[in-house]
Amino acid sequence: MTGDQEAEARRLDETDPLPAVRERFHVPPAPGGLYEESAYLAGNSLGLQPRAVAARVREELQDWARLGVEGHTQARRPWVDYHELLREPAARLVGALPREVVAMNSLTVNLHLMMATFYRPAGERTRIVIEDSAFPSDSYAVASQAVHHGLDPEQTVVRLRPRPGEEHLRTEDVLDLLERDGHRVAVVLLGGVNYLTGQLMDMQAITKAGRAAGAVVGWDLAHAAGNVPLRLHDWDVDFAAWCTYKYLNSGPGAVAGCFVHERHVRDTSLPRLAGWWGTDPATRFRMEPRISPPASADAWQLSNPPIMALAPVLASLEIFDRYGMDALRARSERLTGYLAARLTGVAEIITPADAAARGCQLSVRVADAAGTVRRLAASYGVIADAREPDVVRLAPVPLYNTFHDCHRVAEALASITG
């Protein structure tokens, strides 16, 4: 049976409408000698390195060595406006207008910058709504914002929990809260795809309900950008932020991205935490003491961007531009559907069964998550990650994972848990 299943996985790889482009990435070797390469299903934690990255970074190092400070204007890709190169591909990735996006900082820094502008508690409208299973950094950020405004986080931060006995938030429950208590909500800040369960939220419906209630709606897209198609402009999202080191394969701690809807970028009355890179580039080098922010998301920039760190992001975005999120999403659904079927009866899947309600991550509950992940790597060459105490996250990334990778994962988990 195992041989037949492996043959079927290889057949699916050979006949898939959009085969993996694994050759564009460095895949870590597998220990143990069974396979040459790992079955790397940890792209939801750190994506693999595109092979094009080394050359891109090397070019910037060469220009620095050759030109020194003149590289700001004379490099192959002049540094002074390097971040502009990322604007249009990033906008296509998240469904935005080019002037609505900017590559800058890290995810949590960008969330703080957004809340410095958009979290303006007044009267009874003071609350921040997040999901109870939000990534800890989001919990820390919103609590600290409440404290910054002299408020008690225990009273200010509303943590949405699934119904008893369930793993996921129901959209209708989120909408009900916004209809019932929306007059008290200042900001809704949810994860587009939940980092723990892999649940894909109905961002369009929640954004509409939040804005109808008079709240500002922002999204943490750390696990959504590069994973699922996004239409931030059309959905009328107020702001969003995402990291680029997971599904966007831009390297550990890579420069993050930020979205601000065009109705806000034109509003010069909005309060911002300012820095010199947030002023109009046409007048930036006059070194004037008074800022003149441009009508774009660039107005939220603080400092000149790190060129060596932007080069990998640009190389990665070019790959996404080549294949497109819609095609990658379709392949993702085929991969996760196959893996979910193979895991049935092997481990409890806590990710939504409906393909439309999840990204490419499948989370499974096991008795010892950390021990299981160690055994997967050491004995089977399968790279996954653990969330203590009992969740193993598996992310078949459509760019570089294969059906055969999924077969290997299923076989390995069956052996460990059986």
Answer yes or no: is 107 a known binding residue: yes
Answer yes or no: is 135 a known binding residue: yes
Q: What is the DSSP string of 320-370?
A: HHHH-HHHHHHHHHHHHHHHHHHHTTTSEE-S-SSGGGB-S-EEEE-S-HH
Which residue in the block uniquely carries the two structure tokens 């969740």? 391
Q: Are 336 and 360 within 8 A, CB to CB?
A: yes
Answer yes or no: is 276 a known binding residue: yes
Answer yes or no: is 289 a known binding residue: no
The burial class, CB within 10 Å (0-12 / 13-18 / 19+), for 387 is middle
Tally of residues, the chain:
418
Please state, in angstroms and rounded to a whole number, the distance separating the CA atoms of residues 170 and 181: 17
Residue 216, φ and ψ in degrees, nearest 5: -85, 135
Answer yes or no: is 108 a known binding residue: yes
With a CB cutoff of 8 Å and minimum separation 6, the contacts of 19 are 13
Answer yes or no: is 320 a known binding residue: no
With a CB cutoff of 8 Å and minimum separation 6, the contacts of 258 are 101, 102, 103, 104, 105, 110, 113, 114, 239, 240, 241, 242, 297, 300
With a CB cutoff of 8 Å and minimum separation 6, the contacts of 3 are none
Q: Are 178 and 186 within 8 A, CB to CB?
A: no
Answer yes or no: is 403 a known binding residue: no
With a CB cutoff of 8 Å and minimum separation 6, the contacts of 254 are 243, 244, 245, 248, 309, 312, 313
Q: CA nearest 41: which of 366, 315, 336, 268?
A: 336
Alpha helices in 243-324 (DSSP H): 262-265, 307-323
Answer yes or no: is 136 a known binding residue: yes
**First-residue to last-residue Cα distance in the chain:** 16
With a CB cutoff of 8 Å and minimum separation 6, the contacts of 206 are 171, 174, 175, 178, 188, 190, 217
Binding site feature residues for pyridoxal 5'-phosphate: 107-108, 135-138, 220, 223, 245, 276, 304
Annotated binding site: 107-108, 135-138, 220, 223, 245, 276, 304
